[in-house]
Amino acid sequence: MDERTPDDRRRPSRDDPRRRTRDDPRWAGRDDAWWAARRAGFSQAGLAEPVPWADPREVARLRASRGRGRPGQPLVPTSVASPRLSDELFARLLAYGTPQETHRGDVLFQPGDEDVDLIVVERGTVAVIRTATADVPAATVATVDAGGFVGELNLLTGQNTYLQAQVQTGGTIYRVSPERLRQLMANDVELSDIVFKALIARRELLQRSTAALSVEIVGGNRSAAALALRTYAARQSLIHLWFDADTPAGRAMMRSSSLTADDLPAVVLPGETLRQATPGELADKLGLSYRRSSTKPVDVTIVGAGPAGLAAAVYGASEGLDTLLLDAVGTGGQAAASSRIENYFGFPFGLSGADLTGRAVLQALKFGAQLASPCQAVKLDTDRNGQLLRLHLQGGEVIDTKAVVIATGARYRALPLERWPDFEGAGIYYAATELEARGCTGSPVTVIGGANSAGQAALYLAGRGSEVSLVVRGADIAAEMSAYLVDRLLAHPRVTVRHRSEVTRLDGEDFLEEVSITDRTADETQAQACSGLFCFIGAEPATDWLTGIATEDDGFIRTDVQLTGDDLGPAWAALGRRPLAFETNVPGVFAVGDVHSGSMKRVAAATGEGASAIASVHKAIADLG
C-alpha cells in the first residue's frame, strides 16, 4: 500500500526518470558538449511531455525541415498517433485482450523483452520510459491514460522492446498478445486501420524523440563498417541516433560511454554496448534476426527482400500463407538504393526507392508476414524430405518449407582496379541515398553506368551541389536510359556526361580522393578530384549459393517455358505436370525479379513477377496433398 500523501504521490521521487535532469548530482560534471549531444533527441507534442534537455529551436528546425505539415506543427497529427476510440471501438479492442489488474510501479515490459503485448489501458495511467544507457539518463517518452494503448511498430516487426512501460496509477489493463493482434489486423478492418496507422505514426515520432537515444550508433562518417550499420538501421526504420565520431557531439558521446577509436563503430544500448559492431550483431540484440517459435513448416519462404520478394510476401501473407521473408542485408534490395523513382505506376510525383519498399514492408507486416534480416541463405536442399524443402541459413538454422521463392536479385559489378576493395564504403558506393551522399555534398563526384540507376544517382548528387561526371562506356546515353532522365541530365549545369569513357585509376590515402578517366575515343586520360565514386554497372545474379537449379551460362535462373525436357527430372513425371509460371526445374522452387533470366530490370516488372508467383505457389502447395 502506498502510504505517501496525495502531494507526495504527485511529486516525482529521486529515482523517477522525470527527475534525472541536468541538475541531478548523479549527472554532474557533464560538459556542455555532452548535453548538446543529447539535444539530437527530443520529445514531440502529442506524444510526451518535453524532456529537460529538449531544445525548442531544434524541435522547430526539424519540424520545418522534415515535417509533413506546416512548420510548428507536429510531424504526425496527434489524432493519428494517439487516437481516441469511441466506446464501441474501445470495447472491440478490449475483446482481443486479457485483463490484468495493475498497481503503481508495476513494470509491464522492459528493454530486451521479446514478443511483447499491445497494452490497452482501461483504468489508470502507464508511463513509457527510455531507460538510462551508459551515456544518457532516463526520460519519460509518453504517458498513456485510460482509453489509450501502449505500443509501436515493433509489435509487428518482432523487434525486442527498447523502452519500458511502468504503471503510474493503478487500474486495469488488457494485454493483446502478438497472435491476437494479428487476428485483429486480419478480422476487423476499421479497428485495424486505426491501430496500424497509430503504430506507424508513433515510429515516426519516436525516431525524432528522446526514444532515439535507446539505440546510439557512433562511428566515422566515411567508415565502411559504420555505413553498413547505418544502412541497416535506415532500411529497417530502426529508432536510433547517429553520431559522427569526428564531431564534438560524437567525441562527447564516446567519452561518456568509455569508447575509443578502436571500438568503432559502436552501438550503445540499454544495459549493453556493442564494440566493433556489425549489422548481424545489432539484429541479434534487437531480435530482428531469424527466430521461429512454431515447429510447423512454413508455407512459403522468400529469399530476398527487394521489390519482387516484398510483393511476393504481401500477396502470400494476404492470401493466408504462412510467409517468411529473408534478406542477407536489409529490406529494399537495389531499389532502396535509388534516390528517386519517377516512372513507377501510381506515383506521378515520384518517390525514393526506400519510401516505396518501406511501404511494401509495412503492407507485408500488416498481413502477418515474418521478416528477418540480415539473414543469409547458404544452401537449398532440392531433394524433398517428406514433401518439404530445407533451406539452410548462415547461422546453422534450417527452415522446413513447402515452397521457396528466390528473389535474391543481382549485384552491381566492381571494376578490376587496384585498391578498389580498399575504397569500398570509403569513397566507392553502390547506392546513392542520403547516407552515402552526406559526405560528398558540394564536392566533385563520379557516377559510372548508363542505365536508369546511374542517371537517377547523377541527378540526385547534382541536386545536392556536387559537380558530377557521369562516365558511360557506350556512345549514346539514351541506349539504355529512360528519355526523361536523359533530357534532364543533358540540361543540368552540374552534370557532365563522358561518353566512350572509363575510370582507369583510383588514388587516395584512407579515403578515395582522385580518379583517372580515360576517353577511349581520344585515347586521353585525365585525373580529377573525386570524393565519391558511385558504381552502377552490370549485374551479377546472386545465385552462387544454389545447386541443382537450372541457370543460363551467366547465372540467371531459367523458369517454366525457358526449361527444356532435359532440365526436368523424374519428380515431374510423378507430379504429372510441367513447371508453373516462374517455377524452376525443382518443383516448388520459384524465381522472380532480377535473378530471373530475361527479367526487365524494372521495379514494376519485379513486383508483378513477385505477386504472380504466389498464384503458382498456391497450386504447387496443393499438389503436395
The pLDDT tens digits for 354-366 are 888 999 999 999 9
3-state secondary structure of 511: coil
Q: pLDDT confidence of 329, banded at 50, 70, 90?
A: confident
Q: Which CATH superfamily is domain 420-535 in?
A: FAD/NAD(P)-binding domain (3.50.50.60)
DSSP symbol at 413: P
Between the ranges 383-387, 537-541, 603-607, where is the mean pLDDT highest?
603-607
pLDDT above 50 for 263: yes
pLDDT above 50 for 523: yes
Nearest to 423 by CA among 518, 538, 506, 502: 506
pLDDT above 70 for 614: yes
3-state secondary structure of 536: coil
pLDDT at 601: 77
What number of other Cβ atoms are within 10 A of residue 8's Cβ? Answer: 10
189-207 and 178-187 helices cross at what angle (nearest 10)? 120
Give me the architecture of the 215-286 domain, per CATH.
Answer: 3-Layer(aba) Sandwich (3.40)
Strand ranges in 69-161 using DSSP code E only, listed in sequence order: 98-102, 107-109, 118-130, 139-145, 149-150
Q: What is the largest CA-CA distance in the chain?
A: 90
3-state secondary structure of 517: strand
On whether the CB atoms of residues 413 and 538 are closer than 8 A, the answer is yes
DSSP symbol at 214: G
Bridge pairing between strands 298-303 and 398-406: parallel
pLDDT above 70 for 5: no
On whether the CB atoms of residues 233 and 329 are closer than 8 A, the answer is no
Span 487-515, mean pLDDT?
Answer: 96
Span of 42-51, 104-113, 319-328, 582-591 with lowest mean pLDDT: 42-51
The two counts, helices (H) then strands (E), for the chain are: 19, 27
On whether the CB atoms of residues 362 and 371 are closer than 8 A, the answer is no
DSSP symbol at 240: -
Span 100-126, mean pLDDT?
Answer: 96
Range(s) within the chain of domains with CATH label 2.60.120.10: 6-207
Residues 6+ apart with CB under 8 A from 99: 122, 172, 173, 174
Which residue's C-alpha cell is 527482400?
305
List phi, psi (to 5°) of 531. -95, -10
pLDDT above 50 for 585: yes
**Higher per-residue pLDDT: 20 or 413:** 413
Nearest to 507 by CA among 527, 493, 524: 527
pLDDT above 50 for 57: no
Beta-bridge partners for 503: 517
CATH number of 6-207: 2.60.120.10
472 CB-side CA count, 13 A: 24
Beta-bridge partners for 269: 272
Bridge pairing between strands 272-274 and 298-303: unpaired
Cell readout for 219 is 562511428
Range(s) within the chain of domains with CATH label 3.50.50.60: 298-411+540-623, 420-535
Convert the pLDDT of each residue in 170-181 to its tens digit. Answer: 999 999 999 999
Average pLDDT, the chain: 85
CATH 3.40.605.10 describes domain 298-411+540-623 = no
pLDDT above 70 for 19: no
Range(s) within the chain of domains with CATH label 3.40.30: 215-286
3-state secondary structure 283-335: HHHHCCCCCCCCCCCEEEEEECCCHHHHHHHHHHHHCCCCEEEECCCCCCHHH
